[in-house]
């Protein structure tokens, strides 16, 4: 009585075409957005006041002179220059290796934060009483200023010696990144794990399914549309946490430190600091791209637009 | 007690259910209820909203424990019957897991009971044939119409061949045409599987068309107002136009009307 609709076989191909077009459109939009930002920068430079200006009685308009706002092409050409006069190492080399170093720390922090956040969410979903006791403390944890936390983590880690294991300075930065990343994960996962409708929970109960099976076969898959946005937030938090941690613990080798170092030369070479800022942005974009492709992979068998 | 084949499918003995006991918002959902469902019988529970028919079904399923009284399923305590997988359940919302294909939805209870993959696949395809959805094995639930989703839910409930099927308004969310079609399908499935069924519904014609007995319930507190035997024999589409069918519909309606007027609300005549 219900026959397979004739266009079902073409469905996959059509979906493929749409995806290609979507990807092309998104790439174009991205390039357009970059061009727009660059144009806005240059237009402000052309028309803005050289010494900054007042708006409604407050000194808010930035200075448009070359020392405060170098030309875009100035920044880009800086990448080819030697980092230190006479060295073979270009600024590009330094920025790229710094961004890669920070990226790996952020990834470690994201992995740790995701694991901890998810573990806490499972624990809270299992025992309502834990949720009531723990959740307010998680919220409080996010109000602790990172600048205060960084030296503490550094000194605790420094005292840790387990067998052959010695604390590496980068681990402190990863811990701080994880400290920021775990929170959105815990909150999002808790919402997701509690999202199945009562009828589905009753269905599992009618099969006398133990809690573990209900978690694995119902709550976890139902939580996926909630986990993805949480993961996106956690990835952003891990990037921000890494850069801030590098600056406040004085960790060398990462992009955060590079921003700080180039800033000291800003009076003599204002374009240089922007190379590091661009490097940090590219790192953030790489993380966003990684998260987006994870989403695509996880949601490939789901209804379109099912992400909460 | 023995668990021989002749023990009734369901025995409810003086079961009561009180929610929020001892608090200001205490609700007596069920006054002592005594009801027996014989093996192979289809009993429909009908009554106004809040008469406790869904509560009674949940008691039988051991999803909630009675405040007093006992519930036995297939001659065992309801809790044991639940652990043994003696019944399957279907709700008003099909409640399919949207991340699973149709086949894997049907396999869900079999996975939980530890069946191996080959046996699961085999049984799922038998079930799909039973509900005539063989072409949709690898589709996802959102690609199916409401009626088809409900048939998958029934296939899932029947997949491990339980002796008892508990259905809570399974066709309540379907349009009239699909609903009548599904009633016919359920009749055929029942003939093939010989299971006992407890069926909660809001619809008088549905109750009369499907049931061997219709249990009419009244609200606040929920209790059994009347039990009406339906003597229509083998049902088919002509049954719906049979004068005897209308006579039964009328007697169920009168049993419902016999309730105080404020309790009659919420029952469809369709």
Asked if B97 lies within 8 A of A213 by C-beta distance, the reply is no
State how far residue A214 is from chain B, nearest Cα, in angstroms: 10
The answer to whether the predicted template modeling score (pTM) of the entire model surpasses 0.90 is: no
- Residues A92, A96, A98, A103, Cα dihedral to 10°: 160
Question: Could you tell me which chain A residue has the CA closest to the CA of B85?
Answer: A207
Contact assessment for residue B14 and residue B34, using Cβ atoms and an 8 Å cutoff: yes
Confidence class of residue A6 from pLDDT cuts 50, 70 and 90? very low
Residue B259 pLDDT: 59
Residue from the list A3, A206, A218 with its beta carbon closest to the beta carbon of B89: A206
- Angle made by CA atoms B71, B74, B80, in degrees to the nearest 5: 65
What is the average per-residue pLDDT within B21-32? 83
Residue A151 pLDDT: 83
State how far residue A154 is from chain B, nearest Cα, in angstroms: 44
Asked if the C-beta of B83 comes within 8 angstroms of chain A's C-beta atoms, the answer is yes
What is the average per-residue pLDDT within B45-65? 90
Question: Could you tell me which chain A residue has the CA closest to the CA of B142?
Answer: A303
Contact assessment for residue A101 and residue A255, using Cβ atoms and an 8 Å cutoff: yes
Q: How far, in Å, are A185, A194, A232, A234 from residue A226 at the CA level?
A: 9, 10, 10, 13
Whether the per-residue pLDDT at A307 is higher than 70: the answer is no
Asked if A199 lies within 8 A of B82 by C-beta distance, the reply is no
- And the tokens for B37? 């469902």
Residue B189 pLDDT: 83
Whether the per-residue pLDDT at B121 is higher than 80: the answer is yes
Question: Could you tell me which chain B residue has the CA closest to the CA of A209?
Answer: B112
State how far residue B260 is from chain A, nearest Cα, in angstroms: 32
Residue A214 pLDDT: 93
Please provide the size of chain A in residues: 308
Chain B residues with CB under 8 Å of A2 CB are 132-133, 135-136, 145, 148
Whether the per-residue pLDDT at B3 is higher than 50: the answer is no
State how far residue B99 is from chain A, nearest Cα, in angstroms: 6
Residue from the list A4, A208, A303 with its beta carbon closest to the beta carbon of B83: A208
Residue B265 pLDDT: 45
The least confident of A118-122, B24-28, B45-49, B141-145 is: B24-28
What is the average per-residue pLDDT within A170-184? 92
Asked if the C-beta of B135 comes within 8 angstroms of chain A's C-beta atoms, the answer is yes
**Alpha carbon distance A27, A31 (integer Å):** 6
State how far residue A208 is from chain B, nearest Cα, in angstroms: 5
Residue B255: name the closest of B220, B210, B214, B197 by CA: B214
Asked if B112 lies within 8 A of A1 by C-beta distance, the reply is no
Chain B residues with CB under 8 Å of A202 CB are 58, 61, 63, 89, 91
Residue A250 pLDDT: 83
β-pairing verdict for B76-77 and B68-73: antiparallel
Asked if the C-beta of B245 comes within 8 angstroms of chain A's C-beta atoms, the answer is no
Contact assessment for residue B197 and residue B38, using Cβ atoms and an 8 Å cutoff: no
Residue B267 pLDDT: 54
DSSP state of B231: -
**Alpha carbon distance A193, B176 (integer Å):** 36
Residue B261 pLDDT: 43
Residue B67: name the closest of B106, B29, B95, B108 by CA: B29
Q: Express as a percent the part of chain A with pLDDT over 90.
A: 41
Chain B residues with CB under 8 Å of A204 CB are 112
Asked if B135 lies within 8 A of A221 by C-beta distance, the reply is no
Size of interface A-B (CB pairs under 8 A): 65
Whether the per-residue pLDDT at A305 is higher than 50: the answer is yes
DSSP state of A215: I
What is the average per-residue pLDDT within A123-141? 86
Whether the per-residue pLDDT at A3 is higher than 60: the answer is no
State how far residue B113 is from chain A, nearest Cα, in angstroms: 8
Residue B213: name the closest of B44, B71, B95 by CA: B44
Residue A200 pLDDT: 92
> Residue A127 contacts by C-beta under 8 Å, 6 or more apart in sequence?
none
Residue B270 pLDDT: 53
Residue A230: name the closest of A197, A175, A191, A280 by CA: A191
Question: Could you tell me which chain B residue has the CA closest to the CA of A198?
Answer: B95
Asked if B97 lies within 8 A of A218 by C-beta distance, the reply is yes
Mean of per-residue pLDDT scores for chain A: 85
Task: For residue range A201-217, list pLDDT tens digits in order.
Answer: 999 999 999 999 999 99
Using the structure block, give the residue that is written with the tokens 């080819």. Answer: A80
Whether the per-residue pLDDT at B26 is higher than 90: the answer is no
For residue B213, the SS3 value is strand
Residue B264 pLDDT: 41
What is the average per-residue pLDDT within B155-171? 90
Whether a cis peptide bond, with omega within 30° of 0, leads into B221 is yes
* DSSP H/E element including B186: helix B176-193
* ipTM here: 0.84
Contact assessment for residue B195 and residue B158, using Cβ atoms and an 8 Å cutoff: yes
For residue A99, the SS3 value is helix
DSSP state of B141: G
> Could you count the other beta carbons within 10 Å of the beta carbon of residue B202?
19
Mean of per-residue pLDDT scores for chain B: 86
Question: Could you tell me which chain B residue has the CA closest to the CA of A221?
Answer: B99
Chain A residues with CB under 8 Å of B111 CB are 217
């Amino acid at each position: 009585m219900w026959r397979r609709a004739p266009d079902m076989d073409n469905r996959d191909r059509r979906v493929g075409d749409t995806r290609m077009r979507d990807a092309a459109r998104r790439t174009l939009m991205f390039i357009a957005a970059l061009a727009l930002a660059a144009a806005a920068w240059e237009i402000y430079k052309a028309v803005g006041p050289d010494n900054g200006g007042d708006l409604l009685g407050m000194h808010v308009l930035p200075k448009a002179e070359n020392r405060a706002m170098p030309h875009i092409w100035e920044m880009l050409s800086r990448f080819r220059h030697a980092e230190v006069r006479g060295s073979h190492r270009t600024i590009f080399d330094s920025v790229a290796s710094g961004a890669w170093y920070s990226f790996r720390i952020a990834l470690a922090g994201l992995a740790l934060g995701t694991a901890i956040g998810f573990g806490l969410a499972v624990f809270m979903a299992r025992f309502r009483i834990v949720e009531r006791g723990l959740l307010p403390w998680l919220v409080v944890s996010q109000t602790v200023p990172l600048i205060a936390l960084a030296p503490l983590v550094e000194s605790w880690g420094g005292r840790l010696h387990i067998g052959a294991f010695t604390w590496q300075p980068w681990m402190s930065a990863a811990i701080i990144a994880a400290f920021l990343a775990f929170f959105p994960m815990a909150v999002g996962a808790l919402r997701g794990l509690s999202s199945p409708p009562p009828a589905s929970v009753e269905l599992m109960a009618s099969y006398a399914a133990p809690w573990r099976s209900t978690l694995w076969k119902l709550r976890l898959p139902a939580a996926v549309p909630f986990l993805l946005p949480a993961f996106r937030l956690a990835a952003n938090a891990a990037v921000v946490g890494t850069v801030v941690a590098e600056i406040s613990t004085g960790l060398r080798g990462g992009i955060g430190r590079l921003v700080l170092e180039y800033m000291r030369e800003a009076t003599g070479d204002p374009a240089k600091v922007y190379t590091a800022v661009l490097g940090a942005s590219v790192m953030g974009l790489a993380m966003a791209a990684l998260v987006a492709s994870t989403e695509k992979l996880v949601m490939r068998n789901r209804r379109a637009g099912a992400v909460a | 007690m023995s668990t021989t084949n002749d023990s009734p499918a369901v025995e409810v003995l003086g079961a009561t259910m009180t929610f929020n006991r001892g608090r200001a918002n205490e609700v007596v959902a069920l006054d002592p209820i005594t009801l027996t469902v014989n093996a192979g019988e289809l009993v429909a529970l009908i009554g106004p909203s809040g008469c406790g028919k869904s509560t009674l079904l949940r008691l039988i399923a051991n999803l909630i424990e009675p405040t007093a009284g006992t519930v036995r399923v297939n001659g065992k305590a309801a809790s044991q019957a639940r652990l043994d997988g003696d019944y399957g359940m279907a709700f008003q919302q099909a409640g399919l897991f949207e991340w699973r294909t149709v086949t894997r939805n049907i396999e869900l209870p079999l996975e939980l009971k530890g069946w191996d993959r080959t046996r699961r696949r085999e049984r799922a395809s038998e079930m799909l044939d039973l509900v005539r959805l063989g072409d949709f094995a690898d589709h996802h639930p959102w690609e199916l119409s409401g009626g088809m989703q409900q048939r998958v839910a029934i296939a899932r409930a029947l997949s491990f061949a339980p002796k008892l099927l508990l259905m809570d308004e399974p066709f309540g969310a379907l349009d009239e045409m699909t609903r009548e079609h599904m009633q016919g399908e359920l009749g055929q499935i029942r003939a093939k599987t010989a299971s006992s069924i407890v069926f909660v519904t809001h619809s008088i014609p549905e109750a009369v068309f499907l049931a061997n007995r219709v249990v009419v319930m009244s609200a606040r507190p929920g209790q059994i107002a009347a039990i009406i035997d339906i003597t229509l024999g083998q049902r088919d589409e002509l049954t719906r136009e049979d004068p005897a069918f209308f006579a039964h519909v009328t007697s169920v309606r009168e049993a419902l009307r016999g309730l105080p007027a404020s309790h009659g609300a919420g029952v469809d005549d369709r």
